[in-house]
Amino acid sequence: MTGALRHRGPDGGGHILEGPAALGHRRLSIIDLSTGGQPMADANDLAVVSFNGEIYNFREIRRDLTAKGYVFRTNSDTEVLVNAWLDKGPDCLDLFEGMFAFALWDKRSRTLFAARDRFGKKPFVYTLQKGVFAFASEITALRTLPFLDFSVAPQALARFLSYEYVPTPQSIFSQVRKLKPGHYLLLHGGDVTTAPYWDMPPPDPDTGQSEDELCERLRLLLAQAVKRRLVSDVPLGVFLSGGIDSSTVAAFMAGMSARVKTFSIGFTEKSYDESAYARAVAKRFATDHHERILSAAECGGLLPEIVARFDEPMADPSIVPTYLLSKVTREKVTVALGGDGPDELFAGYEYFVGFNLAERYRRLPGLLRRGLIEPIARRLPQSSGYVNPRAVARTFLAGAAAPRNLRVQTWLSAFSPQAQVSLWRNPDRDFLAPSRLLAPTIELFDAFPAEAPLARVFYTFARQYMLDYILVKVDRCSMMHSLEVRAPFLDRDLAEFACRLPISMKLRGDKRKYLLKKAVADILPREILSRPKRGFLIPASMWLRESLKPHMDELLGESHLKRQGLFDPKAVAALRAEHQDGVCDHRKELWTLLVLQLWLDKNRPGIE
């Protein structure tokens, strides 16, 4: 199992057998390079742990534990974790600031205790079959156990086609689960229980502070979050896209350390290239900047290789540039700070503006909507560029017609439940009903204790899209190159501050990230603050027509689909023809289908 995870920890490995328990580990050396090997036990050999991640405040926790009489033999955060468990049990999780997934065997009670960090930055998957409980950072490691079942559930395939990922806690395999973020797991006597230890707080409409006071508090929390993530015994750098988020991280880091190394990539297709913004930020803060410009052919050719290395299918097109950025960064450093988190925590996505716009649209007279606006939307021009007017209008209208708890997911979905009925070769399946297919979103939205629907959207976004799309992408692509990526914006104190902000401090009219932009207005270059959000995208539509067309012909062709027996070849052919001829932009649908087929072709799992 550990051999399958060598890319996550190339600096060493180990395992330990203790009665019915076996723990293994692969190490990426970052803190206490000489004595931090794992699995690691406490000084009295009462418990042993396998731990992935970092606890940034481990030195403060260690001081408190030392004062209580606990003995330490290393300078690692791993030993702090073990002793914190011995001191507080599951309550130790409240002490930890960091990103982590771990499993600890307590020899006294013969109990396995496992946990995942608050936002799920580090993965934890597990299965319980035939009396065997197995866990790992990636499903790839679990699949080395030949006596276990790793068949794919059709419902998981259907959810992937809607979400472009399989939402936690489900996985693509029917017998494998993902531990939810902010949760812990206990295994005792063959029984597995999970429970939450933290969740995102709802907004507080009355902070009792002025805007200026909130800005000052935000700047202090940003500085604290970045400083915490500079704890390392190896070189660090920053992913730099030239957007507000990564530029903010670079700015604060530049004020705390020697010349900062920054890393970015660009594209030969000018409409997608943002490298000039990254260069401007690098110049402003005098960083040691490293840049790589990529071509469409280079990126397109890498897609099958990257998809094959994911333990589950992942249809985010930016896995390609993220993979390449991680590769470039790893040539110089072992740890990079990234800008993930503020789009979800400070309302950076256009979907949030769209949600409010849809509320107003639904109040218009039906005659005006159906008789004028919708016919005009159907006649808008097509484009394969960054913005496709007709596709945007079509998507907006579909989401506006959906209930509030599914509106944003309707905009995000590659295939709607209705579209999937046409896609599947056997559409008479209960799991294609919208209430079942999109149940993960409905449950999150409806359960969050906030009155404002938009606050529930923020929460759902963080607990689904950020968790299973953004953070999985960054973790897998970076760890393929043995690179650790840290997310200052997901610092607990900073995140709780952001969660509690009134919605008006995040979204004011169509102004997104309102408070964040105000807080860094005198720090970042003006052109960075005023530029529109573009995201980390690639020209997927163009590549599907050109460099990826041979893969489309093979894996989405009639003969392959007939042999596979999952999808209607005629429905797929219609999507391809409309896209190839420019009649309709089906980039999301075709990209998602292609990624799924590439992944299935490489992994060849059984399907229930």
Render pLDDT for 417-427 as a digit per residue (tens, 0 to 9). Answer: 999 999 999 87
CA distance 137 to 312: 12
Those residues with Cβ within 8 angstroms of residue 61's Cβ, 6 or more apart along the chain or in another chain: 55, 80, 84, 95, 96
Is 551 inside a domain boundary? no
The answer on 487 and 430 residing in a single domain is yes
Highest mean pLDDT among 186-190, 217-221, 541-545, 604-608 belongs to: 217-221
pLDDT at residue 543, as a whole number = 80
| CATH for 116 | 3.60.20.10
- Of the candidates 109, 115, 50, 113, which has an alpha carbon nearest to the alpha carbon of residue 78? 50
The sheet carrying 40-41 orders its strands as 40-41, 47-55, 98-106, 111-116, 183-188, 191-196
pLDDT at residue 235, as a whole number = 87
Owner of token pair 């019915």: 20
The answer on 525 and 447 residing in a single domain is yes
3-state helix, strand, coil in the chain (%, to 5): 50, 15, 35
| CATH for 405 | 3.40.50.620
pLDDT at residue 23, as a whole number = 95
Structural element, H or E, at residue 562: helix 558-564
- When mean pLDDT is compared across 116-125, 297-306, 598-607, the lowest value belongs to 297-306
The answer on 217 and 139 residing in a single domain is no
Is 230 inside a domain boundary? yes
Owner of token pair 């063959």: 190
pLDDT at residue 234, as a whole number = 85
Is the pLDDT reported for residue 535 higher than 90? no
pLDDT at residue 418, as a whole number = 92
Q: What is the mean pLDDT of residues 1-14?
A: 91
The answer on 44 and 144 residing in a single domain is yes
The answer on 259 and 315 residing in a single domain is yes
pLDDT at residue 540, as a whole number = 81
For residue 582 the two structure tokens come to 């420019």
pLDDT at residue 104, as a whole number = 98
Confidence of residue 35 (pLDDT cuts 50, 70, 90): confident
- When mean pLDDT is compared across 274-278, 385-389, 574-578, the lowest value belongs to 385-389
- Of the candidates 29, 97, 96, 25, which has an alpha carbon nearest to the alpha carbon of residue 235? 29
- Of the candidates 208, 202, 251, which has an alpha carbon nearest to the alpha carbon of residue 226? 251
Q: What is the mean pLDDT of residues 582-592?
A: 89
**Residue 64: helix, strand or coil by DSSP?**
helix
Last residue of a domain, one of 129, 161, 196: 196
pLDDT at residue 372, as a whole number = 74
CA distance 449 to 203: 9
Last residue of a domain, one of 473, 502, 536: 536
The answer on 313 and 166 residing in a single domain is no
pLDDT at residue 382, as a whole number = 63
Owner of token pair 């330490």: 72
Helix 319-330 vs helix 296-309: crossing angle, to nearest 10: 90
Is 583 inside a domain boundary? no
Q: Is the peptide bond before 39 cis (omega within 30 degrees of 0)?
A: yes
Is 596 inside a domain boundary? no
The domain tally of the chain equals 2
Q: pLDDT tens digits for 356-372?
A: 999 988 888 777 777 77
What range does the domain containing 176 cover?
2-196
Q: What are phi and psi of 556, to 5 degrees?
A: -110, 15
The answer on 275 and 356 residing in a single domain is yes
The answer on 527 and 406 residing in a single domain is yes
Q: pLDDT tens digits for 142-184?
A: 999 999 999 998 999 999 999 999 999 999 999 999 999 999 9
Last residue of a domain, one of 177, 196, 215: 196
Is the pLDDT reported for residue 534 higher than 70? no
Average pLDDT for the chain:
92
Q: pLDDT tens digits for 455-498?
A: 999 999 999 999 999 999 999 999 999 999 999 999 999 999 99
Is the pLDDT reported for residue 56 higher than 70? yes
Confidence of residue 233 (pLDDT cuts 50, 70, 90): confident
The answer on 442 and 381 residing in a single domain is yes
- When mean pLDDT is compared across 15-19, 216-220, 334-338, 501-505, the lowest value belongs to 15-19
Q: What are phi and psi of 285, to 5 degrees?
A: -105, 15
Is the pLDDT reported for residue 70 higher than 90? yes
Q: How far apart are the first and last CA of the chain?
A: 25
The answer on 405 and 290 residing in a single domain is yes
The answer on 143 and 282 residing in a single domain is no
pLDDT at residue 387, as a whole number = 62
